[in-house]
Amino acid sequence: MATLNTVLFDLDGTLVDSIPLIFRTYRRVFAALGLPWDPGALAAQIGIPLKVISRKFAGERAEEFYSLYQRYYHEEHDRRTRLFPGTKEALWELKRHGLRLGLVTSKTAAVTRRTLAFTGLESFMEAVVTVDDVRQPKPEAEPVLKALALLESPPDRALYVGDSCHDMLAGRRAGTAVAGVTWGLARREELLACGADLVVDRWSELLAFALDSRGR
């Protein structure tokens, strides 16, 4: 990898501790629609667009599934959304060393804006790409490539950080380095199997890698 100048992040499970809220919301939707609850099957889908998940699990009732999810999620968003410890401090440190930061998520633009504003992350992100901004979302490369285009950064100078296989695949397909975090959805072994160049257990490890790649 050439000298690093850009770090892109996934949102849920990477910067924001929202996986419990996501599962709680899905469980409420499944119960409301009388669908069999299978957390293992659902976990494999987290990180791809809600509309795709709605069709997969609800079929002809996909629109109802989608609407219920949005309603339940917004009802509890502020009460159950928080940053992982050390997130803001890590972002400050990256910016202090001249790295450009961006966000690539499969959430809708409206929910992303709400989460960024609520957590105070919006000021860190120079580029934000949501599911509404692309035709082929993660695990395809388009969202990552779009964020890089907005930042005018080549893939070989970028790192994409996420917590799922969908993130690892999107970054690799876009040509960036990819780092997995273990505090979100996937285990270390899964992230490595999906192509992670690096898997970290704490922000300090990611900072050390990014700043070494930056040349400090």
Residue 36 banded pLDDT, cuts 50, 70, 90: very high
Single out the residue of 54, 56, 47 nearest to residue 140, CA to CA. Answer: 47
Among 10, 12, 17, 167, the one annotated catalytic: 10
Residue 215 pLDDT: 74
**If you average pLDDT over every residue of the chain, what do you get?**
96
Distance CA 125, CA 116 (A): 9
Query: Has residue 186 got a pLDDT over 90?
Result: yes
| % the chain with pLDDT above 70 | 99
Query: Has residue 138 got a pLDDT over 90?
Result: yes
The edge-to-edge listing of strands for the beta sheet with 100-104 is 127-129, 100-104, 6-9, 158-162, 177-181, 198-200
Query: Has residue 169 got a pLDDT over 90?
Result: yes
Query: Has residue 39 got a pLDDT over 80?
Result: yes
163 given a catalytic annotation: no
Question: Structure tokens of 95?
Answer: 């910016």
| Mean local confidence (pLDDT), 122-129 | 98
Single out the residue of 109, 123, 110, 38 nearest to residue 53, CA to CA. Answer: 38
Given the structure tokens 């690096």, which residue do they identify? 198
**Inter-residue contact 113 to 99 (CB < 8 Å):** no
Structure confidence by residue, pLDDT tens digits, 52-85:
999 999 999 999 999 999 999 999 999 999 999 9
The CA distances from residue 143 to 21, 41, 136, 137, 206, in Å, are: 24, 24, 8, 6, 22
Domain 6-17+82-214 coded CATH 3.60.15.10:
no
Global pTM value? 0.95
| Mean local confidence (pLDDT), 21-39 | 96
Query: Has residue 216 got a pLDDT over 60?
Result: no
Residue 1 pLDDT: 65
